Chains A and B, each alone.
Chain A
Amino acid sequence: QMQLQESGPGLVKPSETLSLTCGVSGYSISNAYHWGWVRQPPGKGLEWVGSVYHTGSTYYSPSLKSRVTISLDTSKNNFSLKLSSVTAADTAVYYCARVIHSSAWKLYYFDYWGQGILVTVSS
């Protein structure tokens, strides 16, 4: 059974870069699929951050595109999220997930999720 687990600092200072890693077990991320991130500010709804294909190509949220980078590390079987110049508005639970994506079939959804990690932006 595939499992995903987020890791990283729970506290980041304003203007610094948020860095998270999603470890994947039970499946090799270099084989196929997109791998993505979704965040949820406290008490609010879900917000898509972006995803990376197993080939390395990426999709990013238009509102975060200038600050976000998602990449794969196939040697460690994980993928990462970097969000620069953070503010309090970036405080959220960040979830990593596997993405099913097919342009031909008009599909894009998350089928396996990590448990999430709370990242607070504060000095």
Chain B
Amino acid sequence: QSVLTQPPSASGTPGQRVTISCSGSNSNIGSNTVNWYQQLPGTAPKLLISSNDQRPSGVPDRFSGSKSGTSASLAISGLQSEDEADYYCAAWDDRLNGFCVFGTGTKVTVL
């Protein structure tokens, strides 16, 4: 059961900027770092952003992440056709013994 809320869909034309939100609570986003994953159709998820705003080696700099309070955002600048994918946020939740929570996922469509 997802406890991080994302919009189900987002879209833009090539070259546009698209932003995806991720809303959580004090026990997860409010207390821990946020990560983003990209899942291209039929493939395994890929780490896109870690620790709120860090891009792993090989991830284009048109992808950026930010966090404020209990919410986080992923921005895609200069949208490209190959960016059409599902995007998930995730964070650690401090409740109980601790567990990882994923967002509900956002489908990005390039028009």
Which residues of A are in contact with B by a Cβ distance under 8 Å? 36, 38, 45-48, 51, 59-63, 95, 100, 105-111, 113-116
Contacts and interface: CB of A to CB of B under 8 A. Distances in A.
A38 B46 CA distance: 13
Contacts of A95: 44-45
Contact size class for B?
20 to 34
27 contacts: A45-B2, A45-B103, A45-B104, A46-B90, A46-B102, A47-B102, A59-B98, A59-B99, A59-B100, A60-B99, A61-B99, A61-B100, A62-B99, A95-B44, A95-B45, A105-B51, A106-B31, A107-B50, A107-B51, A107-B92, A108-B33, A108-B91, A110-B35, A110-B37, A110-B45, A113-B45, A113-B46
B44 A45 contact: no
A85 B2 CA distance: 22
Contact of B56 (A48, A60, A111, A114): A111
Contacts of B97: 59
Contacts, number: 75
A115 B44 CA distance: 5
A59 to B, nearest CB: 6
Nearest to A113: B44
A115 B39 CA distance: 12
Contacts of B104: 45
